[in-house]
A and B are shown apart, each in its own frame.
Chain A
């Protein structure tokens, strides 16, 4: 049964007996839903089973035994050095956290180092590229570069490429 009203009443009944108002709401709902009525009967019976389950009685001197164990613990604590008391109270709790924090710090430092190394490598590559540009040929060698480049703009007629006139070539070179 997934009806929210029934579900809410069911969840409440798991924790405590229903109030008269809740019982009235439940009765109204169950009257309209036969499936839910059968389910509710099983729930009530199961509740009865669970309530009847009792663990075996606890020893009557249980509290006294606990207090004796506590006294023994206190006596043990009195005999320990302050450093050991601190370690058992806090150190054991803090040590794993400190270990994790240390590991995180080591990872962070390693990451930073790696980042710096990669940055330097990238810088070195950029410098190498600049040095390549710096070693281009002298300007005199390239004096006719633009004229030669202009030749590529001369229209070529695929069917009759020989028909390009000298005039066109001269115009392109000008």
Chain B
């Protein structure tokens, strides 16, 4: 059994024994995908960072009752999704509140960098940003389950079965969610897809 153990689950078992280095390794490995998922749900980098931090804190707090019943990544993304949904619910209940206001200022926190508005970006970059914004907008407009399934589909760690567990659907329903999400995006971005004017950098 030990030979088949998911490496992340093995790290998590070490976390359960109080190994902080193992926890750090997990955070390093998953911080970007978790942040990416959370950001696409909340569309606010600062809030997304707070929620992503909370995801890892939840993982640490739950370490003592962690049992290897599923892949670690499935469990992690399920926590991330649930916290996103909680945050979206909280926002809808208190639309005026923001995590920025609630969070106490942290002197250790690195200041976020903002673009210098005086510098005019080249036209290609302007077009690219406009297109990126369109894609971002189209992804944000997708129903939550379709969006989550579509985003998780890009994660190499997760199989379709794992994605199905995170979104709480059957395998065929999950594939259908992804298909529908892609069809919607193709419809929304049709003018750009046709011209093919956006090439990879």
Report the minimal beta-carbon distance from A15 to chain B, rounded to whole angstroms: 6
A162 within 8 A of partner (CB): no
State which of B39, B61, B160, B198 has its C-beta within 8 Å of the C-beta of A56.
B39
Contacts of B31 in A (CB 8 A): 58, 62-63, 66
Which of B4-12, B92-100, B186-194 sits within the interface?
B186-194
A65 contacts B53, CB within 8 Å? yes
A53 contacts B23, CB within 8 Å? no
Contacts of A67 in B (CB 8 A): 20, 23-24, 27
Q: How far is the CA of A127 from the CA of B40 in the complex (A)?
A: 74
Contacts of A60 in B (CB 8 A): 110
A62 contacts B49, CB within 8 Å? yes
Report the minimal beta-carbon distance from B187 to chain A, rounded to whole angstroms: 10
Say what secondary structure dominates the interface of chain B: helix
Give the interface residue-count category, chain A: 20 to 34
A129 within 8 A of partner (CB): no
State which of A11, A50, A56, A93 has its C-beta within 8 Å of the C-beta of B45.
A56
Report the minimal beta-carbon distance from A162 to chain B, rounded to whole angstroms: 85
Report the minimal beta-carbon distance from A19 to chain B, rounded to whole angstroms: 15
Report the minimal beta-carbon distance from A40 to chain B, rounded to whole angstroms: 11
Q: Please name the residue on chain A nearest to B34 by beta carbon.
A: A58
Report the minimal beta-carbon distance from B199 to chain A, rounded to whole angstroms: 7
B-facing mask of A62-97, CB < 8 A → 1, else 0?
Answer: 111111111001000000000000001110010000
Contacts of B36 in A (CB 8 A): 55
A-facing mask of B15-35, CB < 8 A → 1, else 0?
Answer: 000001001100110011001
A16 contacts B156, CB within 8 Å? yes
B35 contacts A58, CB within 8 Å? yes
Number of interface residues of B (CB under 8 A): 51
Contacts A46-B182, A89-B65; is A53 near B139 (CB within 8 Å)? yes
A171 within 8 A of partner (CB): no
Contacts of B24 in A (CB 8 A): 63, 67
Contacts of A15 in B (CB 8 A): 153, 156, 160
State which of B32, B40, B189 has its C-beta within 8 Å of the C-beta of A46.
B189
Q: Can you list 24 A-B pairs, Cβ within 8 angstroms, ordered by A? A: A43-B186, A45-B193, A45-B196, A46-B185, A49-B192, A51-B200, A53-B136, A55-B40, A56-B45, A58-B35, A59-B112, A60-B110, A61-B110, A63-B28, A65-B106, A65-B108, A65-B109, A66-B27, A66-B53, A67-B24, A69-B56, A70-B57, A70-B60, A89-B64
Chain B interfacial positions (CB closer than 8 Å to A): 20, 23-24, 27-28, 31-32, 35-36, 39-40, 45, 48-49, 52-53, 56-57, 60-61, 64-65, 106, 108-110, 112, 128, 131-132, 135-136, 139, 150, 153-154, 156, 160, 175, 178, 182, 185-186, 189, 192-193, 196, 198-201
Chain A interfacial positions (CB closer than 8 Å to B): 11, 14-16, 42-43, 45-46, 48-53, 55-56, 58-70, 73, 88-90, 93
